A and B are shown apart, each in its own frame.
Chain A
Amino acid sequence: MPPFKEEQIIIIAPGSQTTLAQYGLPESLTPARVRVRSRLFPAEKEGEWEPFKVRRKETKQILQEEKDELREMQKSLGEKEEDVTYEEDFVTEEGAVWPIVEGKIMDWSCFFALMTHVFNALNPPFHTPILLVAQPCWTPKEQEKITQFFFEKFKMPAFTLMDSAKATSWAFGKENALVVDVGYGKADVTAITEFCVHQTGRMVSLTDCGGEAMTRRLHEVLKSKGFTRDMAEQLKRNPICEILPQGTPLPGSGMGDGAPDTVMNPAAVASTGAIAEVESGAAIGNVPRGPGLGTEVGEEQPMEDDNEGVLDVASIVAGGKMNEYLARKEKEKQDRIVAKKKGATDASAAAAKPVKLPNSKREHATFVYEDHALLDALKNNLSIEDSAKARAVLDEGPQKRQAGAESEPASAIETNGTAGWGTARNGTIRREITVGTERFQAASGGILEYLADAIHRTISAVEDTGKRGALWENLIVVGNGSAIRGFKEALMSVLQGKYLISPSSATIFTSEIPSGISTPTGTGTSTPQPQLGPHGGGGSSVNPLLLAATTAQLPHSSPGNPVPNALNQHSHTSHGQAPTTIRFSKFPEYFPEWKDSGTEEAVFLGAQVAAKVVFIADQGLNKGYMTRPDYNEQGPPGIHYFAM
């Protein structure tokens, strides 16, 4: 009998943004059931942590003196202070501490508290083995520290650590794979041959290569338009933000130089809604009120100064001009409704037109922004009733709530606030913002080239040159940083363009000439040049016959049609160099639950598979996990004999 049962196993995969966890393995492996934002809030007492922001519940009516009096009274009555004066805020992230930064554990006390929080959220009984997915940058010393904490805090019977890259390769079921894990602050590039991780040459914690760098880049290009960081972050998560393959011209820019030259005032667009509405309003001569170009500028004139940041409503709130702003906003909203009613047909016609184009062809697109900063500002500055009212006015409603392209699986339980912005939050304020071609520039800061170079270096560091080809043919890109639309395709286009080795036109002749007869030297000018057909185009493409000769099979495409690199499915053997083919590894199709959620979190699937194998199928024969007696005997350093 196996020592553990499937429903007893705990899997935890900590990440710098989201920690995934699950208690019990289902029959069919699913995406993680528990998703926790990897952050905690410092409690009043140093060294203690709270899963939610706790703030003092203060009402404006009570004066400071009265409050003090009240507190005195409570104290004398022996009442607990917290009951009266504290409130948990389930939404805000203000003042949160993120213990994991770029995969490294920066705040151990907070990290342990987070693990405890996750463990308690799973609420297991005693007899539960734990598999923890380890970040590549954790040093052996740190792994020992974690092992010690887990054994001494949770007192579980068995524990193991699994390298995140290895877990990913298990999920894909590949013995040779190059795993690129694009996280939030960093990316890890790992070569795996025969299920073994290559520590030498492994690119651990490539900074400025994750989602955070792309947000920063978006913020950089959109800063002049009044975007805040949070807006850029949400734009990145929206499907309208896309990374186009190398060399794709931007829509509307003609030459693809990436300089959007539109006359639209984005602030105006943002505050009045979608472009379609502006256009339709203008069409029927009823200009919507709002600041900026293309709208009727009326009584708002005096406020124009602070309106530079119409997008940044939070600062207005904090600046105390809330009431004026609210009144104006209310008016706008009404106007818009009127305008909408009047031009309903026009608007729909105008709106329908751009929708038909794919996102990559459209010059502008709109997304719904959830303004957390504003919500926090409201909470901090206004009374509850006022803020509720203001919220109602400012919320531009979920008329078109985002299709949850990036939203979490519905089954996920969220134990500390929300796990992602994709799902609507309670009481958030939504506003529509239109962006131009800047939304295609998330990776224009050179991330892809940097990552591609890291991939090349990692594979080049694999000592066994014969294995490199297999690695290039089994690229796995995971991590939520890669979830951004078009990321993988763009990365592939960079790799194909830079590193793919084409069959050399020189080899076709030497391989046909019998040995013993002198062949032209490699550098000699006497090397006969192959006669390329009409498709040759100045020798800029590979002769398909040459490819056929070197791969010993005929290409599927017709000879008149040069084989594009992207479709190059044949590997030719004459080269000692790699790669001759670059391909993504295919995600196995026998995990139906994973079909909709995407493969970004495949590491968790691999961890599940591993847990099943290590704790149940293998029954501990191969020492895949450390038991409590093992720990008592060997101490924390013993984990290195067991960790995978």
Chain B
Amino acid sequence: MASLMSSLNAPSAAEYAGDEVSAIVLDPGYSTVRAGFAGEDVPKSVVPTYYGGLEPPGGATQVLYGENAIHNPIPHLHIKNPMSQDGIVEDWDAAWKLWEYSLTSRLLGAKPTPAIRNGLNDPVDGDVMDVDMEELDDLEKPLVDNPLLMTEPAWNPVKWREKSLEAAMEEWGTPGFYLQRSGVLAAFSAGKPTALVIDIGASQLSVSPVVDGMILKKSVRKSPLAGNWISQQIRLMFAQSQPPVPLTPHYMVTSKVPVDAGAPSNATYKKYEIPPTDSFRRLEEERVLTEFKESVVTTWYHEFGRLSTSSQGMTNEERAKAAPGARPFEMPDGWNQIFQVERFKVIEGMFDHEGAYTDAENRAPKLEHTIPNLIIASLNSVDVDTRPALLANVVLVGGSTLITHLHERVKRELEAAYPNVRVRLHAPGNPVERKFASWIGGSILASLGTFHQMWISRKEYEEHGAGLVEKRCK
């Protein structure tokens, strides 16, 4: 075809007349909001759920969204999160604005102001122009061209489900809307209609049995032993070390100097006239903790069982101390030390409620909140015939599952609990697939031809109202 083209003839004008709709998938979580076009393999827009409120005393408050804005050590910047510790929305208005930001900033772009509003065409002599303002309002809504698929935790209350539909229709102007449980989508991302989905996120650890693409809502179990809880364990471990480990975030340090392990740091600190807020410091400390989780923390998955058990006259904790591979960790201020048994201990509480670090404020986790007990409780509430099918399709997803060897430990615990059943654990090797599993599942679902039949159209919404979501999105 190309050879027919000559540089001397103008190409014939052929007009494009397609009207493909690309659905948008929105997967809001506690630490990040994932958004992107259906059919793609990674969400294009990943925005931190943390947002900044700039509240100078006596000045106008300002809300800042996005990665670029919230890590700036400026005074009076308060870091907030619209989600509750349960992983559901707490501050609806803030959450909705944040989600809108995640859609407009990287996916859709700001809609251009219509000519009538941009100020250039303001009547000079006070002429009142006769334009239907409502029609213009519709044009300004961000999602008029794109149907929307939103994910939700299985325990999302009805009022938020209805509100999601209402706001998506009224405020974003979407032509079609569907709400799907993130557990189902995570199973889809693994290509399984039936699966036992273990999702360890930032705020919640959940176990959801999915059978033939339907979630067994009554059997979903959740617990707070997730990413944030691990961070808290690391903090406790730091505080209980002898001497305590100083946790200094990057923004406080101008430059550091190498020091010996365990020696006090010898860094130049940055001086702030008005120090950044405590909530900002906490967010920045969390960055250091994330680095600690990535590079130091690992799971004990020895054949001798849990850390606390002992066999052959030697406790596993002693074995862990003797095991090679202690990892050093350097703080932003240069302080460094190796971590040996602590590497395992900060995560042990997820499996063994007695193995956790505790203090007066942070009690040991409840037995039923640990991963093995959560899985057992969930499976016990499921019909006995479906249990083998679920155990043969265990899907492990969520950002916190990326801790080294965690999937091996989960598998070991499952095999110990169900010695006579074949247990197969599916944990994607690609960290992106594990982190964004629900989004990817949503991307698959929303790009299927059948998605057109699933969504609640604008017309249906106008006819039946927000209550429709309970009937349609089960």
Contacts and interface: CB of A to CB of B under 8 A. Distances in A.
A540 to B, nearest CB: 5
Interface string A1-33: 101100010000000000000000000000000
Contacts of B10: 126, 155
A517 interface: yes
A207 B68 contact: yes
A369 to B, nearest CB: 34
Given A457-B67, A464-B431, A523-B242, A497 B256 contact: yes
B46 interface: yes
A205 interface: yes
B6 interface: yes
A142 B109 CA distance: 7
Contacts of A464: 431
B337 A506 contact: yes
A637 B43 CA distance: 17
A201 B42 CA distance: 12
A453 B251 contact: yes
Contacts of B261: 504-506, 527
A450 B260 contact: no
A201 B107 contact: no
Interface in B11-55: 11, 13-16, 18, 20, 22, 37, 42-46
Contacts of A1: 3
A46 B118 CA distance: 14
B398 to A, nearest CB: 13
A336 B11 CA distance: 66
Given A463-B435, A517-B322, A521-B321, A456 B250 contact: yes
A505 B43 contact: no
B8 A126 contact: yes
B73 to A, nearest CB: 9
A504 B339 CA distance: 12
Given A3-B2, A505-B260, A576-B296, A522 B7 contact: no
A199 B44 contact: yes
Contact of B106 (A204, A633, A637): A204
A460 interface: yes
Given A506-B338, A518-B321, A635-B20, A574 B11 contact: no
Interface in B44-74: 44-46, 67-68, 71-72
Given A127-B5, A505-B260, A575-B330, A522 B107 contact: no
Interface string B293-307: 011100000000000
Given A126-B9, A199-B42, A498-B253, A506 B328 contact: yes
B327 interface: yes
Given A157-B11, A457-B71, A540 B339 contact: no
A522 B326 contact: yes
Contact of A539 (B1, B68, B263, B337): B263
B468 interface: no
B12 to A, nearest CB: 9
A541 to B, nearest CB: 6
B342 interface: yes
Contacts of B107: 139-141
B449 interface: no
Contact of A465 (B254, B294, B342, B435): B294
A515 B253 CA distance: 37
Contacts of B257: 540-541
Contacts of B254: 246, 449, 497-498
Interface string A504-521: 111100110001111101
B287 interface: yes
A3 B3 contact: yes
B278 interface: no
B16 A522 contact: no
A429 B245 CA distance: 62
Nearest to B39: A640
Interface residues of B, number: 81
A285 interface: no
B348 to A, nearest CB: 16
B342 A522 contact: yes
Which of B2, B3, B18, B296 counts the most A-chain CB atoms under 10 A from its CB? B2
Contact of A155 (B11, B105, B112): B11
A585 B114 CA distance: 46
Contact of A515 (B7, B22, B241, B323): B323
A507 B328 contact: yes
Nearest to A521: B340
B11 to A, nearest CB: 5
A576 B341 contact: no
Contact of B260 (A539, A627, A629): A539
Given A465-B294, A510-B326, A525-B242, A139 B72 contact: no
B372 to A, nearest CB: 27
A460 B37 contact: no
Contacts of B15: 632
B135 to A, nearest CB: 21
A403 B8 CA distance: 45
Contact of B342 (A204, A499, A523, A574): A523
B362 interface: no
Contacts of B342: 522-523
A453 B339 CA distance: 26
Nearest to A541: B258
B324 A498 contact: no
Contacts of A542: 258
Nearest to A125: B7
A464 B430 CA distance: 8
A584 interface: no
B93 to A, nearest CB: 24
Given A157-B2, A636-B16, A127 B256 contact: no
Given A126-B11, A510-B338, A463 B432 contact: yes
A140 B7 CA distance: 31
B315 interface: no
Contact of A200 (B16, B46, B105, B108): B46
B71 A519 contact: no
B336 A504 contact: yes
6 contacts: A140-B44, A453-B250, A457-B287, A523-B339, A525-B262, A577-B330
The 3 A-B residue pairs with the shortest CB-CB distance, nearest first, are A497-B255, A576-B295, A127-B7
Interface of B: 1-3, 5-11, 13-16, 18, 20, 22, 37, 42-46, 67-68, 71-72, 105-109, 112, 120, 241-242, 245, 250-251, 253-263, 266, 270, 287, 290-291, 294-296, 318, 321-324, 326-330, 332, 334, 336-342, 402, 431-432, 435
Given A155-B11, A529-B260, 12 more contacts: A127-B5, A139-B107, A200-B43, A246-B254, A450-B72, A498-B332, A506-B261, A507-B326, A522-B341, A523-B241, A525-B262, A540-B266
